[in-house]
């Protein structure tokens, strides 16, 4: 709950209080969960895709299971990243080039 609220507040502040847009774009699309693709085994992902019939859900699954580094490379600035990784495991230059909210 706390991290969800924090992500919502950060996004709202960075986007000039655009509540309308925040209601139309899901949180997972606004904040990349960096390590999520490592939590979904490729075989499980393939099984889910085979059994799923809703095209919009398939598109969402394909987006969130794409490696975080690939999603970051494709994303427009400003990019919002959500991770459970320790700061020491992230690139050192991150502190020089990004704003970080650490909880």
pLDDT, tens only, 51-99: 877 777 777 777 778 887 888 888 888 889 888 889 898 888 888 988 8
pTM over 0.75: no
Q: Retrieve residue 45's tokens.
A: 């992902």
**Listed residue (19, 1, 3, 2) closest to 80, CA to CA:** 3
- H/E stretch holding 32 reads strand 32-33
Output DSSP code: residue 7.
H
């Amino acid at each position: 709950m706390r991290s969800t609220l924090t992500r919502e507040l950060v996004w709202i502040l960075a986007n000039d209080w655009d509540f309308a847009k925040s209601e139309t774009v899901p949180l997972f699309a606004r904040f990349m969960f960096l390590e999520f693709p490592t939590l979904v085994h490729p075989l499980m992902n393939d099984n889910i895709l085979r059994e799923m019939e809703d095209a919009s859900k398939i598109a969402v699954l394909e987006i969130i299971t794409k490696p975080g580094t690939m999603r970051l490379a494709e994303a427009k600035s400003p990019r919002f990243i959500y991770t459970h990784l320790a700061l020491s495991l992230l690139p050192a230059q991150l502190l020089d080039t990004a704003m970080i909210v650490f909880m």
